[in-house]
């Protein structure tokens, strides 16, 4: 495709990856971000091999791996710490051909931001794009990409006559970061469960982890942030030792509640020269473990299609056809696990470990080859 002028709205994972990959293909990119500086939603992410495939294509895999951790398994425990199931990440990585890396979100965003600067792409911070601006952008640019997230995407709004709003799925995730030496878990992602409640601990460095406590609850935005750490300590008070340790060493300023919403599948993601990617197009629950991974895949697939096809409308139609099945699978996987965890009996077999490592690798690596 000949070089295009591209406007990207939102400098999150999807927008920054899109800007980097498009710039590398020689397109002219402008990136608009409403926040005054890069924002950090959540404490950390696990970049599964499909995400690390994209990092490799962006030339960032080494940097990401250096900044993050490489866990060797996910283990499920009951709240007393008795181990029930395990997923062998080393085996998954071997089958997939790429590592799994856990990383603090602030490091992920920093690395993407530095890579953008190195490519000469500047982010126009403190620039909120409103619904009425989209028409102007679509006339000024060849392509307008909405990477403006799950909750209030104005680009998604511009695509549909009636609003497509995210739905609350009935549980909260309270996330944070702790500095401590996790002897008991070392290099294991720990997934502690009790019917209706879950506490996950993700090691990043020997002295650093991120974590999330989750439970079923109605939305309550009246509490101050400090109240959530107290609630966590009370709610998970009798749980296994690693849970106690992370809560004891939590960095209070990192603690953040998210009332978790996802998005029903959309019938299309583009109209004329306007398209949505990432959470704006297909926001899955954190129980899918795939939100940021799928946002990265979107960026890589869209840019790949642009390099192989001339006609923009054909590219955007092909992009939806190529991506909708996998992202819908992530959505359903996230909902199914959330249902079992928070509204079922907390069945210890309800997890990715119910799926074979070979199948998981096949599912997540589907459609990815350089
Ligand atoms: C609690 C929780 C835990 C999660 N854990 C994981 C995990 O472990 N692994 C994983 O892969 N995924 C995880 N996810 C999902 C992951 O965070 C998202 O899927 C991913 O961040 C999506 O990236 P995005 O760029 O599409 O959207 P966002 O990261 O939301 O970025 C959108 C950007 O657009 C900007 N913006 C919005 N509106 C406008 C506007 N009008 N004008 C200009 N800018 C605008 C915002 O400020 C923001 O910077 C988690 C999600 C949640 C809620």
On average, the pLDDT of the chain sits at 93
Instruction: Give the architecture-level CATH label for domain 5-69+105-167+263-341.
Output: 3-Layer(bba) Sandwich (3.50)
Instruction: For a ligand 1 pocket test, name from 32, 45, 74, 129 the mutation site with the most ligand atoms within 8 angstroms of its C-beta.
Output: 45
- Is the CB of residue 213 below 6 angstroms from any atom belonging to ligand 1? no
Instruction: For a ligand 1 pocket test, name from 7, 9, 10, 48 the mutation site with the most ligand atoms within 8 angstroms of its C-beta.
Output: 10
Measured over the CA atoms of residue 43, residue 47, residue 52 and residue 57, the dihedral's sign is negative
**DSSP for 269-290?**
SEETTEEE-THHHH---GGGS-
Over residues 29-43, the pLDDT tens digits come to 999 999 998 877 679
- Between 140 and 344, name the one with better pLDDT: 140
CA of 112 to the centre of ligand 1 (A): 14
Instruction: For a ligand 1 pocket test, name from 12, 18, 71 the mutation site with the most ligand atoms within 8 angstroms of its C-beta.
Output: 12
* Number of alpha helices (DSSP H) and beta strands (DSSP E) in the chain: 13, 15
Structure confidence at residue 349 (pLDDT)? 58
Tell which atom from ligand 1 comes closest to the C-alpha of 293: 11
Which DSSP symbol is given to 69?
B
- Is the CB of residue 39 below 6 angstroms from any atom belonging to ligand 1? yes
pTM above threshold 0.75:
yes
Parallel, antiparallel or unpaired: strands 274-276 and 143-146: parallel
Structure confidence at residue 332 (pLDDT)? 96
Main-chain dihedrals φ then ψ at residue 269, nearest 5 degrees: -120, 0
pLDDT tier at 225 (50, 70, 90 boundaries)?
Answer: confident
**For residue 118, how many other CB atoms are within 10 A of its CB?**
10
DSSP alpha helices (H): ranges in the chain? 13-24, 49-58, 61-67, 89-96, 105-118, 133-140, 154-159, 225-235, 241-248, 279-282, 291-308, 312-338, 357-365
Angstrom CA distances, 180 to 97, 185, 194, 202, stand at 31, 11, 24, 12
- Between 294 and 309, name the one with better pLDDT: 294
Angstrom CA distances, 218 to 192, 198, 214, 227, 337, stand at 22, 16, 12, 16, 19
Over residues 199-221, the pLDDT tens digits come to 999 999 988 999 999 999 999 98
Closest CA to 7 of 25, 33, 45, 26: 33
- Is the CB of residue 256 below 6 angstroms from any atom belonging to ligand 1? no
CB 327 within 8 A of CB 59: no
- Is the CB of residue 15 below 6 angstroms from any atom belonging to ligand 1? yes
Over residues 241-290, the pLDDT tens digits come to 999 999 999 999 999 999 999 999 999 999 999 999 999 999 999 999 99
């Amino acid at each position: 495709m000949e070089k295009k002028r591209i406007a990207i709205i939102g400098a999150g994972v999807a927008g920054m990856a899109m800007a980097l990959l498009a710039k590398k293909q020689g397109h002219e990119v402008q990136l608009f971000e409403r926040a005054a500086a890069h924002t950090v939603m959540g404490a950390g992410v696990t970049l599964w091999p499909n995400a690390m495939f994209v990092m490799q294509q962006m030339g960032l895999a080494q940097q990401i791996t250096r900044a993050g951790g490489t866990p060797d398994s996910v283990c499920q425990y009951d709240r007393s710490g008795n181990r029930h199931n395990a997923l062998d990440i080393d085996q998954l990585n071997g089958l997939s051909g790429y590592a799994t890396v856990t990383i603090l979100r602030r490091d992920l965003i920093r690395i993407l931001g530095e890579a953008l600067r190195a490519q000469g792409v500047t982010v126009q911070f403190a620039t909120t794009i409103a619904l009425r601006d989209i028409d102007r952008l679509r006339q000024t640019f060849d392509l307008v990409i909405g990477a403006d997230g799950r909750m209030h995407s104005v680009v998604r709004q511009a695509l549909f006559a009636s609003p497509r709003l995210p739905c609350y799925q009935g549980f909260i995730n309270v996330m944070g970061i702790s500095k401590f030496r996790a002897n008991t878990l070392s290099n294991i992602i720990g997934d502690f469960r009790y019917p209706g409640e879950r506490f996950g601990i993700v090691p990043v460095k020997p002295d650093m982890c991120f974590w999330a406590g989750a439970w079923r609850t109605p939305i309550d935005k009246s509490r101050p942030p400090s109240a959530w750490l107290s609630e966590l300590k009370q709610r998970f008070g009798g749980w296994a030792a690693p849970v106690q340790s992370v809560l004891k060493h939590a960095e209070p300023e990192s603690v953040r509640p998210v009332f978790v919403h996802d998005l029903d599948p959309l019938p299309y993601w583009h109209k004329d020269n306007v398209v949505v990617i990432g959470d704006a197009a297909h926001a899955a629950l954190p129980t899918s473990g795939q939100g940021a991974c799928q946002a990265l895949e979107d960026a890589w697939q869209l840019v790949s299609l642009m390099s192989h096809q001339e006609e923009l409308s054909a590219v955007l139609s092909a992009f939806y056809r190529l991506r909708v099945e996998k992202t819908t699978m992530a959505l359903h996987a996230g909902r199914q696990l959330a249902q079992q965890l928070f509204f079922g009996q907390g069945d210890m077999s309800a997890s990715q470990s119910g799926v074979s490592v070979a199948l998981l690798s096949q599912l997540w690596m589907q459609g990815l080859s350089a």
